[in-house]
Amino acid sequence: MFTRVNNWIDTTLEGMNLSRRDLDFRFKFRGHKYRYPTFHPIWWIIRIAEIIFATYALYAWCFIMIVLFG
């Protein structure tokens, strides 16, 4: 299954003249350059956790505003 998904991703990106390396997350920390591949499963787990955290933070903020000003 993952092979077919990987092939589909590669084919789609080739159609846009891109590669997986073009979409990597690159950053600099303490003078060193780092590259983290965005097609790595840990990347997706981090993204999903951020979305869940943002959802609960927004819900908590709305709840607090309703309690304080409602």
User: Which residue ranges make up each domain of the chain?
Assistant: 23-70
Quote the tokens at residue 66. Answer: 């309703």
- Cβ 48 vs Cβ 56: under 8 Å: no
Quote the tokens at residue 28. Answer: 């600099």
pLDDT tens for residues 37-70? 777 677 778 888 999 999 999 999 999 999 999 7
Distance CA 28, CA 44 (A): 21
Quote the tokens at residue 58. Answer: 């927004």
pLDDT tens for residues 6-27? 788 788 888 888 787 777 778 8
Angle at 18 between CA 14 and CA 19, to 5 degrees: 85
Residue 10's SS3 state is helix
